[in-house]
C-alpha cells in the first residue's frame, strides 16, 4: 500500500518567517503534486513535479522532488497570512490517473 506522510502535521508561525513542509514515502511515484485547501473549499493544485531532483518555484514557494522520486518538500519564504491553509501532497503512478494523497500539513501564519 502506498502511503505519503507529511510533516509537520501542524505549523503556526509569524508573518515573515520561512518554513518547510515535507512529504515522504517508501514508494516511488512518477509525479508528485502539491495542493492548498482553504476551509469550505476543495484543494487547488499548486504544482506538479515529474523528474527526480526537479525544483519548481511559484513566487515565494519552492517545490522540490527528491532524486529517488520518493519524497518532496515545499519551502515558503517570508510567509504571509494569505498562505494559511491545509497543504496536501499527492503522488501519482505511471500510466494512471490515480493519485494518493498525503496526510496534510495545516499551516497558520499569524499577522
Partner 1 sequence: GAGVSQSPSNKVTEKGKDVELRCDPISGHTALYWYRQSLGQGLEFLIYFQGNSAPDKSGLPSDRFSAERTGGSVSTLTIQRTQQEDSAVYLCASSSTWNTQYFGPGTRLTVL
Positions that interact with partner 1 (CB under 8 A): 4, 6, 31, 33, 40-45, 48, 50, 86, 88, 90, 92, 96-104, 106
Q: Toward partner 1, which CB reaches closer, 3 or 78?
A: 3
Closest CB 92 distance from partner 1, rounded Å = 7
Closest CB 62 distance from partner 1, rounded Å = 19
In angstroms, the CA 28 to CA 81 distance is 34
Helical (H) or strand (E) element with 95: none
Q: Toward partner 1, which CB reaches closer, 16 or 52?
A: 52
Q: Toward partner 1, which CB reaches closer, 79 or 107?
A: 107
In this structure, what are the phi and psi dihedrals at residue 64, rounded to the nearest 5 degrees? -130, 135
**Hey, which bits of 8-84 come out as E strands?**
10-14, 19-24, 31-37, 44-49, 55-58, 61-65, 71-76
> Which whole-number Å values give the CA distances from 9 to 40, 58, 62, in the listed order?
19, 23, 19
Closest CB 46 distance from partner 1, rounded Å = 11
Closest CB 83 distance from partner 1, rounded Å = 17
Amino acid at each position: 500500500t502506498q502511503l505519503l506522510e507529511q510533516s509537520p502535521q501542524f505549523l503556526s508561525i509569524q508573518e515573515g518567517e520561512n518554513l518547510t513542509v515535507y512529504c515522504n514515502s517508501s514508494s516511488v511515484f512518477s509525479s508528485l503534486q502539491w495542493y492548498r485547501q482553504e476551509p469550505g473549499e476543495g484543494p487547488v493544485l499548486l504544482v506538479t513535479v515529474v523528474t527526480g531532483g526537479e525544483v519548481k518555484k511559484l513566487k515565494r514557494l519552492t517545490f522540490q522532488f527528491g532524486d529517488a522520486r520518493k519524497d518532496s518538500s515545499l519551502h515558503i519564504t517570508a510567509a504571509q497570512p494569505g498562505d494559511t491553509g491545509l497543504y496536501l501532497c499527492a503522488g501519482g503512478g505511471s500510466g494512471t490517473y490515480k493519485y494518493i494523497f498525503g496526510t496534510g500539513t495545516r499551516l497558520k501564519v499569524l499577522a
